[in-house]
Amino acid sequence: MSTTLTIRNLDAEVKRKLRIRAASHQTSMEAEARDILRRAVEDDHPLTRPSTPAELRDRLRHVTGVWKGQGTTDELIHLTRGEN
């Protein structure tokens, strides 16, 4: 199945760099853009592949670390609302 994608309002500098990149790979700008998009959404990308519970915990560690030692989420909500 073939799909057409039109990209409007592409910054001139991005277009220039894409043209240079394509030339360095001896391919067309269209083929280069296809390759960039394909690699960006490959299944092994951390945001698109299924995660193990350990990987999910690691991803959330930076967020939950902010709360560490500060109480539960409910307690923090009450604190930010000024509730006792």
pLDDT in tens, 21-74: 999 999 999 999 999 988 887 766 556 566 788 877 776 766 655 556 666 777
33 and 18 Cβ atoms separated by less than 8 Å: yes
The pLDDT of residue 2 is 81
User: Which sequence spans correspond to the domains of the chain?
Assistant: 1-49, 50-84
Which distant-in-sequence residues (6+ apart) come within 8 Å of 71 by Cβ?
79
The pLDDT of residue 68 is 60
The pLDDT of residue 9 is 92
